[in-house]
Structure 1
Amino acid sequence: MDGGAGAAVELREAHRLAGHADRVWALAWNPSPGAGPVLASCGGDKAVRIWKRAPDGAWHCSDVLEDTHNRTVRSCAWSPDGKLLATASFDATTAVWEYNGGDFECVATLEGHENEVKSVSWSPSGLLLATCSRDKTAWIWEVQPGNEYECVSVMQGHTQDVKMVQWHPLLDILVSVSYDNTIKVWADDGDDEWHCVQTLTEANNCGHSSTVWAVSFNHKGDRMVTCSDDRTLKIWDTSADLSQPKTGEGHESWRHLSTLTGYHDRTIFSAHWSSEDIIASGAGDDAICLFAEERSSMAEGPLYKLILKKEKAHDMDINCVRWCPQSKPWHTDTQTITTRSKRIPRITNLIFMFCNQVFLRIFTPCFLNSCA
């Protein structure tokens, strides 16, 4: 598909990882630059797999974390320093794993949710861990000495299953999305009390009309993207001063910026914003879409343009799509291409991963030519 005047974009499969015995639900790249490209995946086989890239470029499963959860592992997330891995399960528990001397050890099991835990996310400081559940709540856990975790807040406000929680990349602000069609922003009031400071709805904020499945921030933290059963992606931005102290006060100013519709034919399960400001989405129609911002003098605000759509990227639903944060160090091509007035870094192997059943794929978006 045309990526703009004179620029063609192609999505090429680079690797296929097989090993899970059931549906793969979620993926997480280790954020530590020193770790090299390391990927965690989890699924319906109750296991978590750790994948590593060898010097020759081949991928292999280095560890299988099992015998801790007794039901589907629905979500996984690395701590900001890459030393801990949290996994959330339908068995209503969250496990925290630490890499010690060549092996992963489960150092904590967090209990309290009444039903399946759907998502887990670390705060940017690594001192807080958030979980959410089918019990309609989101919990915040504080990391204590000795691998202890204390629940410091049980946040109630959603009226249905909470699908995902995600921390702001710079601030201790938490966003949750739900089967009740809403997006909620949570913040500490400064006295260690967590409150919902904003709810984004269809009626009041041009929000979603059906289940909201996922949320992702851009690297600056001034925009976020959400995706939904209504087959749309929505872009939100904030006028808050992100240079303020890391509390939630004054950060309830998210507003609707743009709606991307007509690109997927079924539920959009996953969306992820890359460090290069490209949004990837994956859906129940088995397709992957990539979007980039395009500024136009004719438009009142920024527009987001489809730069690629790959049909049948998998044989079934695409449950998760994640950009690899370590693509830059692997490659040296840092030219740019231009989509009209928007310049996009031309990284020939900007890698991301997505999954459906049993196996995972790594793809490389390739900008085939420049239009300088």
Structure 2
Amino acid sequence: MQLKTLCELQGHRGRVWSCAWNPQADLLASAGEDKNIRLWTKGDGDNWKCSYVLSDGHTRTIRSVSWSPCGKYLASASFDGTVSIWNKKSGDWECTVQLEGHENEVKCAAFSKSGLFLATCSRDKSVWLWDVDNEDEEYMCASVMHSHTQDVKRIAWHPSEDILASASYDNNIKMYREDDDEWISTATLGSHTNTVWALAWAPQGDRLASCSEDCTVRIWKSFPPGNNEGIPTQGKDPAWKCESTISGIHPRSVYDIDWGTQNNLILTAGGDDAIRIFSEGEEGWVCDHTEYSAHSMDVNCVKWNPRDADVFVSCSDDAIIKIWRIER
């Protein structure tokens, strides 16, 4: 396995923290230290060009961007404590909703796969759940969860159910679901020994991958009530167990992780400027490829293309976004 750089996208000033494909994979959003969101569209061949620069939504660093499942809305989370919802109206992208309430930097915002909810998390140790009504452009806060004891770094929705996972500086992962119009925390996944930076669900939703400051990746498996393994559960919620730990591969912090929906491969990125690809075999998870010096500085985000199983995007502290293709 080898990686080919299809193109390098430049234009951001300073660190690029986040990039996200829209569901159709014909539009790529990126954001970072310069407080701008750039939207890139595919041109001829493998070339991508910047079609929009959204510069009026935030006053500080933008930490994450995330598309709604319909692809019509983009959520951006910022260190200014707000979340902006962008919508394309009359040919131009506009910030149509701005959500306030967090007391500190917002680290991540993400739409549920149903499109009914938006989750946000913050340095203020909280996770907020918002009811989404895009027709009336209304976002109502449904719940504020204080399950973590430290900065919440990332949130990730289950691929088919309205179940949320959150990762924190407190080394733990929490699970949430709605119960009679109230959101509750249903599980704590704790075996990392340092900050959990990011999360990625398996395509089937029965497993979760996490990456950490402790230089490991952990694969968690859910065991539903009445499971054949005899693992005890409480109520109707599954029990979660760490079934695999990938260690000794990453020499420095692992900042991001993504689990391919089409290829079942795991991507990781981190503080050693490298990108790694893992596959699952009979003996467990194996590193199939390490792209050393993928960027000249820390790699902050990696995302598989939702339509092409061999393509992914990365972004870095070096202010560059790269689109890659696997060549076998």
Give the 5 Å matches for 1:328-343. Answer: none
3-state SS of paired residue (2:295): coil
1:63 to 52, 55, 59: 52
State whether structure 2 residue 112 is matched by structure 1 residue 123: yes
- Cα deviations across residues 28-63 of structure 1 (Å, max 9, x unaligned)? 1001x3xx5211000000000001111433210000
3-state SS of paired residue (2:185): strand
- Displacement of 1:295 after TM fit? 1.7
Distance 2:235 2:213 in 1: 31
Question: 2:296 — aligned with what?
Answer: 315
Q: 1:251 to 1:37 in 2, by over 3 A?
A: farther
1:354 partner amino acid: S
State whether structure 2 residue 163 is matched by structure 1 residue 173: yes
1:229 to 208, 213, 238: 213
Question: 1:335 — aligned with what?
Answer: none
Question: 2:139 — aligned with what?
Answer: 149
Question: 2:93 — aligned with what?
Answer: 104
1:93 to 68, 79, 82: 82
Contact 1:119/1:131 (<8 A) preserved = yes
Q: Quick check: which has more Rg, 1 or 2?
A: 1
- Cα deviations across residues 278-301 of structure 1 (Å, max 9, x unaligned)? 0000010011111001025xxxxx
Q: 1:60 to 1:360 in 2, by over 3 A?
A: same
3-state SS of paired residue (1:319): strand
Question: 2:21 — aligned with what?
Answer: 29
The alignment of Structure 1 onto Structure 2 pairs a total of residues equal to: 317
Question: 1:269 — aligned with what?
Answer: 255
Distance 1:289 1:249 in 2: 38
Q: 1:56 to 1:13 in 2, by over 3 A?
A: closer
Contact 1:185/1:252 (<8 A) preserved = no
Give the TM-score normalised by the residue count of structure 2: 0.94
The alignment-based identity, stated in percent, is 45
3-state SS of paired residue (1:289): strand
Contact 2:260/2:304 (<8 A) preserved = yes
- Cα deviations across residues 178-227 of structure 1 (Å, max 9, x unaligned)? 000000001112x11111110011xxxxx100000000011111111000
3-state SS of paired residue (2:299): coil
State whether structure 2 residue 72 is matched by structure 1 residue 83: yes
Question: 1:287 — aligned with what?
Answer: 274
The RMSD of aligned alpha carbons is 1.4
- Displacement of 1:249 after TM fit? 6.9
Contact 2:266/2:278 (<8 A) preserved = yes
Distance 1:18 1:255 in 2: 41
Contact 2:26/2:41 (<8 A) preserved = yes
Give the TM-score normalised by the residue count of structure 1: 0.83
State whether structure 2 residue 237 is matched by structure 1 residue 251: yes
Runs of 4 or more above 6 Å deviation: none
Distance 1:218 1:288 in 2: 19
Gaps (5+ residues) in structure 1?
1-8, 202-206, 242-247, 297-302, 329-349, 368-372
1:354 to 303, 306, 314: 314
- Displacement of 1:310 after TM fit? 1.2
Question: 2:36 — aligned with what?
Answer: 47
Contact 2:6/2:46 (<8 A) preserved = no
State whether structure 2 residue 176 is matched by structure 1 residue 215: no
Question: 2:230 — aligned with what?
Answer: none
- Displacement of 1:23 after TM fit? 0.5
Gaps (5+ residues) in structure 2?
226-233
1:230 partner amino acid: D
